[in-house]
A and B are shown apart, each in its own frame.
Chain A
């Protein structure tokens, strides 16, 4: 299988090559050259993934590059795992990545550090591919940290604004909290299984009893890592702040790919999760709570990207809810469709921002329908898709999740349907305020160049027809994606829905009807007339609480920052100033004084040196004699 090996190495190697070319040539390359090279590298990587995908035979292939860590019983190879799951993620990452790289050529063309931007974007693609292709937890962890670092770099890309740097730092620190969980989980698994290779861990783990405390702990810790990366409660406050980065970054990293890494990790370890029902319950409820949280906060945001960010949080909650019910196939399906329509939403929002010369406040938009036609149409398609209007892609993935949640827990189902209604409300509020009514700003809107609209159109088509990937049985489909992924992860397809066709039809009708109702309500509020929200201070209590993100940041500040600040301050004033500094400075002073005294031994008189040496020899010999 030389061809497979070569292609598997090429997929991550090409973006890495792009990093070197654009990174080292950043002073020489023009904006278009850098963008072109970076895009070409990811596109070639996509083609390589496609060839691998088309030639896939349903088996799991391990591509062994070299033995990486070999200490005692620990043998960790640097290897890639090519199976249905990683292939699917590779396609999503490189495919969406190519479109977003292409879009960035237009979006970033007048930035002075455009080549650096593309180098970092390519580095992100490389890390993300490493993450999804790794054949053991440690290789995945490299990618995991790599995407975290790229996320930090790209959030703070415009580093001259301090707030952006703080946002990047916040994302990094929050991710670290999750990473600790992942590291501990790896240590635990290595302790238990003596290996970190997915294949071996899953094989050995699969033999253990359900509810084994060790597996529950390991899966909980892994889930902690996933909550950090995928912005689930309680580690989600970094994602809205991460919108400080350039819009293509928000689209690629904070909507389409990196934030789904947590979902990927859980699906990758699905065998273990299947054995830990407690963890599954926790995953379900965290997902449901996050979905509701994101949807509510999205209601009253005025920044176009913030609305989308909370929407992302909410949709990620859906994915985890699906994972919590054991419906891994629909979770991955939603990852895919969400990657389509959320990337599209972000790119379209970027197009709007670009058209308005950097304006992000939806209160100063409006009436853009006529000016930016392509953007409007694609944004509309994406909005319909995310709201779950049939037959767009979001309908299939979301209803799949809702159905499996209903089967698992009706209460969770009710909450998710409510969140879906909220989603429809805030998305259409966004749509109406941005594109309908009259223009309320001062800039001169213009449609974006072709290089930006082409990706929009492609993504719009994908958002529209993406549902075809996984048509459920009741529509006469064969759940193709589920079947495809089932060869990779044992958990997928293990729970056939135990709902009658009638129940499923009813569920779909209910959710669709409720969503349509909400859309009508939003229309009446924001399209017939224009209702603008003021500042949070003027709102009634509950609304103010929601608009201020349920005070989550303030809660963390009160819960962690203040006590830690207090402890740090006292550690500094007592530990540092009273103990550590005198100790270290005193040591230095003592050494200096002793040296000052001792240097008098250095007389420069060679006879004296000789004498000292002889005395030393005598003393040594005496010591030897008496010790022998």
Chain B
């Protein structure tokens, strides 16, 4: 995705500035920094490794040279023992003539050369018996090309001195080879490292820049835009997937907010108009204080209903933003269901229905007691309102709760007309009321609210056919049984700190029954 050329220059980095600062950008990337660190570490490793090899090779060669010298000395000592200094000189003269790395020298006590293939030595060398490493010149060589050698010097009987040594040019050559290898490998590590760093940083940078570009265009209003996924499943892909999911969620929320405001505009205007008309009519026609009082009472009821709808809408919106996870607890669902059924039982009786409960004991879920209670109250209320059976049907509303595998299922079933299959998805939306129910009081928010509560609890709300009638099933993930605390099973004391999802009733007495949502 290429960034827009006409992007406003405020805020984030503009494309032109990105290009200008490509190199500084590169130096600042994590990929570059990581590569630089690896580069230093590898160079260090390579240096240490080569140093170790060089040191060992030198030691090995030195040992070899020494043992060769030792062998020669033993041979020469044998010659001297057999034939005295004369024989020794003869042997040395013979050996000096042969090509090779071996060095020999025999001198008089004052240092004059008798025989050997060494021409020049650092002064005083012959006065120090034992092993030394020296610079020398061979008799056959020119004097300006000194070599290095390891030599051993002996005092022979009669003050004669014997020098036996070996040239170490081989060793020096090896040292040069190793040093050169070190230099080359360091250079190679550096060049390859730089290349790799540039490549990795460029690749990653490019994708991040693409992401930035997409984000920018989304901020500029292209809300449908999504980050590109390379398909390799790497960290950047995962990030992009998550960001896309976040964008989807934000889109949903925005659509939800849009829907809420549309609904409010549309569905609250009607009762507001009614309220206004009522007040106006009372002003115009009411003659007695009693009539005025009745009109005012009616207005207050109307206002209360408006407040209810408003609160329910706000609550649904809040449920959809999913911000109450903090107030979740392990709950005894059986207690809630039984309690709620008990609360509505007299109302059912008044409606000519019998409320039957079938609740398995000790069901646990993770949730908010107020919200689940509210959702259940809405479902029971709906069942009582719309669950009137047809002729000779069963006048029963069944509230059941049981555990099926890892799921706690809570259902409210009636034998009323039910909801046609094609309408089942729609009735969960706000303000949707089916034609058949338009004559009944209500605003069409009860099921939306219940659905919102269930979604917040990571559950499912399903509408099923009760043959005949409607069965609403709330399926919640079962809570951890071990985590339950005894106090949750008991009824809470008065004014327990249980949160309130909806404001307390604000209405005056309304013996006819308040219209429900």
Asked if chains A and B come from one complex, the reply is no
Spell out A's residues near B (CB within 8 Å): none
Q: Which residues of B contact A (CB under 8 A)?
A: none
